[in-house]
Copies of this chain bind each other. A is one copy, B any other.
Amino acid sequence: MQTVDKKYVEIRLKNLRGEMSKKGVGISILWDPDNEYYFSGFRAITYSRPIVLLVYPDKTQYIIPALEDDHARINAKVDEFFVYHEKIQNSHLDTAYHQILNRILDVISKEEVLALELDIIPASVYEMIKGKGFKIKDIGQEIIGLRAIKDEEEIYWLDQAGRLSDIALEASFANLKPGMSELEFDSFGDRKLLEIASGEYPDKIVGYENWTCSGIERSSMPHLYSSTRKFIENDIVVHSRQVWINGYRAENERTFLIGKPTAEQKKCLKIAIEAQKIGLEMVKPGVKAKDVDIASFKVIDEAGYGDYVQHRIGHGLGLTEHEEPYLRFDNELVLKEGMVYTIEPGIYIPGVGGFRHSDTIIVTKDGCRSITKYPRSLENLLF
């Protein structure tokens, strides 16, 4: 099962209520599944059936679909449940989440200030709530701030995810050969990872995702899904391996070269590795997010490849694929112990290829440590 220890849910709710109180907010109405998991320990497969978490100063409520009823009652650390139904036998009960939400809101004083995640909640739901006459504030940035500093339990799972991602990378490389497709290369890592996870982490949810961009054209585009394209002799490949366990994610990316790389390809990979090294060395409490990005970019720019950079050096990581805050040239945020980032400067040159390693790091008391440890040097990445 995927869940959060009650102790941590209580601390997180206390922190959220502290933020609500500072903003004069009476009730937070949360929509984002990762935020809901963070504050309740319950994560469902959602899609077409919304789940809503209401946080009051003294209680919490969940609005859930009937098919999640048992699942939620086992995992969710929540005070009250309201269930909506979708079979004809229960047509006399609530059959949509908004019927319940409406009823709850209708008995709340219109003087109450409500908080929503305005960058996440759909416009139609926002309009429905706002239409009742409540004053609405955004609680999104406060939650991002709370989630940015990881607690003990989160760091434990991040470490496990990092370890599993290294095991998967190693297995993919051990089976690498020209003629296999990007997706087949990924699957050797998946298989090993699931074997190890099944043996060592009983009854846990483990997931993974890979984006493998092979050849000059595909590797020059930073962000593509793995495809059925087959590796050929002298390919350059940017391989992104992502693993999550109990909800927490590690991103582990290596650029590698099959056969004989050109002199420029070797040179560019070395520059990308050096830019990442400088980024990793920069990270410590007190440093600004922007300074990490700028210092790393400078390495690439001074080597003459600044025109071929297309993205920031990294993003926050934890429950969500990309979490704010971002390590971007314009972000004044001061880094703190317990934050988690990817460090992944990239160079993408049409006709030459793409060059990017990514590691996931945790900010420590006086620097950072990487939860992904696969070797980064060129010599280890020639096949």
Interface residues in chain A, defined as those with a beta carbon under 8 Å from any beta carbon in chain B? 1-2, 44-45, 47-48, 65-71, 86-89, 91, 95, 116, 118-127, 138, 180-181, 183-184, 186-187, 190-191, 194-195, 197-198, 201-207, 211, 220-230, 293-294, 297, 301, 306-307, 309-312, 315, 320-322, 324, 326, 328-330, 348, 350
Choose from B122, B203, B228 the contact partner of A198 (Cβ within 8 Å).
B228
30 residue pairs bridging A and B, Cβ less than 8 Å apart: A45-B225, A47-B320, A47-B321, A66-B310, A68-B221, A71-B224, A86-B312, A86-B328, A87-B297, A87-B310, A89-B297, A89-B307, A89-B309, A91-B329, A91-B330, A118-B123, A118-B127, A122-B122, A123-B125, A124-B138, A181-B194, A181-B197, A181-B198, A183-B198, A187-B194, A198-B230, A202-B229, A203-B228, A205-B225, A205-B226
Q: Give the distance in Å from the alpha carbon of A125 to the alpha carbon of B138 in the complex.
A: 13
The winner among A181, A191, A226, A293 for most chain B CB atoms within 10 A is A181
When distances are taken between beta carbons in the complex, the residues of chain B under 8 Å from A123 are 116, 118-119, 121-123, 125-126
One complex includes copies of this chain to the number of 2
Q: Give the distance in Å from the alpha carbon of A124 to the alpha carbon of B130 in the complex.
A: 13
Q: Give the distance in Å from the alpha carbon of A311 to the alpha carbon of B297 in the complex.
A: 52
Q: Is the Cβ of A322 less than 8 Å from the Cβ of B48?
A: yes
Q: Is the Cβ of A119 less than 8 Å from the Cβ of B122?
A: yes
When distances are taken between beta carbons in the complex, the residues of chain B under 8 Å from A312 are 86-87
When distances are taken between beta carbons in the complex, the residues of chain B under 8 Å from A221 are 67-68, 70-71
When distances are taken between beta carbons in the complex, the residues of chain B under 8 Å from A183 are 194, 197-198, 206
Not counting A118-B122, A183-B194, A183-B206, a sample of 17 additional A-B residue pairs whose C-beta atoms are within 8 angstroms of each other reads A1-B227, A67-B310, A68-B223, A86-B311, A86-B329, A87-B306, A87-B309, A87-B310, A88-B329, A95-B330, A119-B122, A123-B125, A183-B198, A184-B191, A190-B190, A198-B228, A205-B227
Choose from B120, B195, B202 the contact partner of A184 (Cβ within 8 Å).
B195
Q: A67-B222, A87-B329, A187-B194 are in contact. Are A315 and B48 (CB under 8 A)?
A: yes
A221 and chain B: residue at smallest CB distance: B71
When distances are taken between beta carbons in the complex, the residues of chain B under 8 Å from A211 are 45
When distances are taken between beta carbons in the complex, the residues of chain B under 8 Å from A195 are 184
Closest 4 CB pairs of A and B: A181-B198, A123-B126, A48-B322, A88-B329
When distances are taken between beta carbons in the complex, the residues of chain B under 8 Å from A187 are 187, 190-191, 194
Q: Give the distance in Å from the alpha carbon of A47 to the alpha carbon of B222 in the complex.
A: 14
Q: Give the Cβ gap from A168 to chain B, nearest Cβ, in Å.
A: 12
A190 and chain B: residue at smallest CB distance: B187
When distances are taken between beta carbons in the complex, the residues of chain B under 8 Å from A71 are 221, 223-224
Q: Is the Cβ of A88 less than 8 Å from the Cβ of B297?
A: yes
A202 and chain B: residue at smallest CB distance: B228
Q: A67-B311, A89-B309, A194-B183 are in contact. Are A201 and B224 (CB under 8 A)?
A: no
Q: Is the Cβ of A322 less than 8 Å from the Cβ of B47?
A: yes
Choose from B2, B68, B301 the contact partner of A89 (Cβ within 8 Å).
B301
Q: Give the distance in Å from the alpha carbon of A307 to the alpha carbon of B293 in the complex.
A: 57
Choose from B88, B228, B320 the contact partner of A206 (Cβ within 8 Å).
B228
